[in-house]
Amino acid sequence: MLNKRVNQSKPEELPEKIPTHIAIIMDGNGRWAISRGLPRLAGHRAGTENLRRVIEACIEFGIKYLTIYAFSTENWGRPPAEVHGLMRILEDVIDRELQELHDQGVQLHHIGRLDRLSKNLRKKVIHAVEFTKRNTRLVLNVAFNYGGRDEIVVAIQRMIADGMKAEQVTDELVSQYLFTAGVPDPDLIIRTSGELRGSNFLIWQGAYSEWYFTPTFWPDFDREELLRALREYAHRDRRYGGLMPLQEDTATHAG
């Protein structure tokens, strides 16, 4: 259960510069479970419990958008019991947590394709999105049956179907055709469990995101770890391919 009494005053330990949008690859559930002699699905359940805590911390820290990678287009290749278990988890989260998330001011979005999900699950996802659409405290994008390349392919198909001409295709237009249309690009992408890959996650939107990697398995990535990532982010200089002001001066004088 989410704690209804989330502290809304800014925690003292919070850095000044806070990302607007954080995206997370919640990796390491399987290894977390195996290291405890548990089945992999127990890791996904522990990961779901942790997600509640991280959502709560994001609300507390004033983060406006959180995108989580819950099921990739590649995850269909996992054993059927695990695939089924992950579908079940999404269904359970909607059944048991929707009202609570709504009460917390969370707006749910789905990014990815709904077509391979069961009719029942599809209906639940659509209902959850509709039910929470007026909430403004935190936008939670759930990437489920999501792949970054697939998202771009779908965007191109839709642009062609809409009769777009080559010269009309711009950065902005492509962004508007992605599943994340209207959502600012992630400032910070976190991947847990020590893997150092992007794994087809937000490949367009993450072009200038800062990355943060931690060896911690997702079920153990707690509020303190999130704060550590935020502190690290606050020290990064985001240059978007340009120069820092001081370097700019030097370049001008030298030039």
22, 58, 70, 106: which one binds ligand FPP (CB under 6 A): 70
Q: Can you give the chain as a three-state secondary structure string?
A: CCCCCCCCCCCCCCCCCCCCEEEEECCCHHHHHHCCCCCHHHHHHHHHHHHHHHHHHHHHHCCCEEEEEEEEHHHHHCCHHHHHHHHHHHHHHHHHHHHHHHHCCEEEEEECCCCCCCHHHHHHHHHHHHHCCCCCCEEEEEEEEECHHHHHHHHHHHHHHCCCCHHHCCHHHHHHHCCCCCCCCCCEEEECCCCCCCCCCCCCCCCCCEEEECCCCHHHCCHHHHHHHHHHHHCCCCCCCCCCHHHHHHHHHHC
Of 3, 27, 145, 171, which residue is the catalytic one? 27
Chain positions 136 to 195 lying near ligand FPP, rule: CB under 6 A, are: 142, 144, 193
Question: Is 112 among the residues that bind ligand FPP (CB under 6 A)?
Answer: no
28, 112, 147, 148: which one binds ligand FPP (CB under 6 A): 28
93, 106, 139, 183: which one binds ligand FPP (CB under 6 A): 93
19, 24, 41, 44: which one binds ligand FPP (CB under 6 A): 44
Is 75 assigned a catalytic role?
yes
Nearest position to ligand FPP, beta carbon: 30
Q: How many residues bind ligand FPP (CB under 6 A)?
A: 20
Query: Residue 69 forms beta bridges with which residues?
Result: 25, 143
> For ligand FPP, which stretch binds (CB under 6 A), given 2-10, 28-36, 114-122, 156-164?
28-36
- As measured in angstroms, the least distance from the Cβ of 23 to ligand FPP is 13
14, 20, 31, 211: which one binds ligand FPP (CB under 6 A): 31
Chain positions 8 to 27 lying near ligand FPP, rule: CB under 6 A, are: 26-27
Q: Which residues are catalytic?
A: 27, 75
- Binding residues for ligand FPP (CB under 6 A): 26-31, 44, 47-48, 51, 70, 75, 86, 89-90, 93, 142, 144, 193, 218
